[in-house]
A and B are shown apart, each in its own frame.
Chain A
Amino acid sequence: MQKSTLNPNVLWPWTLILVLLIFLPFIIPRFYTYILAVIFVTALLAMSLNMVVGHGGLFQFHHAVFYGVGAYAFALMLMKTAMPMWVCFTVSPFIAAAAGFLIGWFCVRLANLYFAMLQISLGSLIWAIAFRWYDLTHGDDGLHGVPIPDWISSTSGAYYFILFFLVLCLIAMYIIYHSPFGTTMQAIRDNPARCSAVGINVRRHQLTAIVIATFFAGVAGVLFVVLEHSVFPDLLFWVLSLEIFIMCLLGGWFTFAGPILGAAVTVALRTFVGIYTEYWTLILGILLILLIFFLPEGVMGLFQRKLRNRRYEEGAPGKRRHAQG
């Protein structure tokens, strides 16, 4: 499935969607603009998780921590220091990536479920600190009224700012996926033992993937603060980690855009079902069960398979890759 050059057939719909998204805020109400911005942030977060889960085969079970670290770093730097916004904006994702390196450095020593558990406990440590260090983080209350510069503090300002960085990050991810590093990661996912045997340093690749993914999660966290002007410990709680995991599944693990779709569906569901009933997690649960029973590859996965079957009817075997072995 490697394409080293951008295929115009792939590029067209993306460009169309982008143009649409640029003009959409002029015609839709402000509330919908805001929801779209929430979807962008969540989509970036889910995409960053999918870098290690779908494409790396790692049990990254506590990804939200890095999102939260990015958000907290950005908010705290803006509130407690006099650094200009751009410096804070640039530094925060690196802090998230540093946290990713630190946690990942321990985690890659273990495999599968143990990796997940170690990550959950290390992540929970960071959550506990954010939750309990009242003097710095205001604990459960979180930090509100983060001073975001005027030009992006309005909903539409934030919308374009977030959209710009989402597109930037997606391009970067696309390049990474199709780089030698990206394909190596997929090879490691599919057969770590063989990769190790042909001389690939599996652990170092996995650690690098974690650092890159956590960097993007940090960007998502920063964008969250730009949109919401606040941070709270739930951003680092493991429930959110599971939620974004679900988004990746919902959209499809092994597709590029799947997590975006998953994030959009989840956010839309929460928003619009939430208007009618407070029991939206019940609906999500039922939806999830239906998905497990009828659509295990996710919506995008099914779509792509149908597309592929039609295109390569005659020869190519269906490339159904399996997740963690």
Chain B
Amino acid sequence: MTDLGALGSQFFVGLSRAMILFVVCSGLSFVLGVLRVPNIAHGSLYMIGAFSAYSITKLVAGPAGFWLALILAPFVVALVSLVAERALFCHLYQREHLMLLLFTFALSLILGDLVKIIWGAEYKSIMAPEVFNGSVSLLGASIPRYNFFLLIVGPLVAVGLWFFTNKTKMGKIARAAAVDREMVGAVGINVSWVFAFAFVLGCFLAGLGGALVAPTVSITLGMDHNLIIEAFLIVTIGGLGNMWGAMVGSLIFGLSQAFGVLFWPQFAIVFPYMAVVIVLLWRPTGMLKSVW
């Protein structure tokens, strides 16, 4: 049955897309959980991740460049976010919520134009190393090796994040700060630094997502706009600030997009939004428990 094969491979395409979305959205969700701020600049940081991955592969040729990009690009993004946080954002924590939201929007405007200044407006693309040529056969469906790689990376990030938030002291402090920041401050922990750390970690994940997505798409200005709205919807339908919720939301979004392509290519982009609407009407506060 060719039809079933197409269905299967489309399933894996959706799944690997969902993994990239998850990496980005788990970062967004983490920031949302700890800082209670929907970080609009998250999309711009994801874009910076993709662009800096491009630059690193240009500097270091060959497969080594790709792996280096995958490791270094998130750190570049983390550095950018650290500077923004310590220089500006940290002074606003006492202010109204809307102000924080607007700050992240202003940041996204600035970062978006900085990307234009540094990298120019042309399309960029990078090649995945030769290891990823060809495809893997899985359950009767053939999937490109890079997508298979994404299917491994996604769960790895999830497990890593789970380990961090549940088993390490820093992660536990961050979780506690999400629930009750006054109490965390009262026991003598510098909440401002916890917030900084959470913000940078979230942005690191955005950068990682950008680096991961880089070989599969053309890297261009405006990729931030397309992503950030998807990321917000995913985080909302999953349950705000819930990491596993980000996973559930990403799966819903990625799979509905992939199957939409199969059933009605012209209006494929409509399907994920439909899915979000249905989920929100069915479970208004998301699939899993929100930390808010």
Q: Does B229 lie within 8 Å of A128, measured CB to CB?
A: no
A54 CB → nearest B CB, Å:
11
Contact A114 B106 (CB under 8 A): no
Q: Restricting to A108-145, which residues have a CB under 8 Å from any CB of B?
A: 109-110, 113-114, 117-118, 120-122, 124-125, 128-129, 131-134
CB < 8 Å neighbour of B102 from A118, A239, A278, A288: A288
A288 lies within 8 A of B105 (CB): yes
**Docked-complex contact A118 and B113, CB < 8 angstroms:** no
In the bound complex, residues from chain A placing their C-beta under 8 Å from that of B276 are 117-118, 121
A288 touches B106 (CB 8 A): yes
Interchain CB contact (< 8 A) of A118 among B91, B269, B280: B280
Find out whether the CB atom of B270 lies under 8 angstroms from the CB atom of A132: yes
Inter-subunit contact A121/B280 (CB<8 Å): yes
Docked-complex contact A125 and B277, CB < 8 angstroms: yes
Tell me the complex Cα distance, A133–B236, Å.
28
B273 at the interface (CB under 8 A from A): yes
Minimum CB distance partner of A111 in chain B: B284
Question: Can you identify 20 A-B contacts, CB atoms within 8 angstroms?
Answer: A106-B277, A110-B280, A117-B232, A117-B276, A117-B280, A118-B280, A120-B232, A121-B280, A125-B273, A238-B225, A246-B105, A249-B98, A281-B113, A282-B113, A285-B106, A285-B107, A285-B113, A288-B102, A292-B106, A323-B96
Other than A120-B233, A124-B229, A124-B273, give 18 A-B pairs with Cβ distance below 8 A.
Answer: A113-B236, A113-B240, A114-B284, A118-B277, A120-B229, A132-B266, A132-B270, A239-B225, A246-B105, A278-B116, A279-B113, A284-B109, A285-B108, A288-B106, A289-B107, A292-B95, A292-B106, A293-B92
- Interface residue ranges, A against B (CB under 8 Å): 106, 109-110, 113-114, 117-118, 120-122, 124-125, 128-129, 131-134, 237-239, 242, 246, 249, 278-279, 281-282, 284-286, 288-289, 292-293, 296, 322-324
Q: Please provide the 6 A-B residue pairs with the shortest distance between their CB atoms, ordered closest to farther.
A: A285-B109, A282-B113, A288-B106, A285-B110, A117-B236, A121-B276
Residues of B within 8 A of A (CB): 38, 40, 88, 91-92, 95-96, 98-99, 102-103, 105-110, 112-114, 116-117, 225, 229, 232-233, 236-237, 240, 266-267, 269-270, 273-274, 276-277, 280-281, 284-285
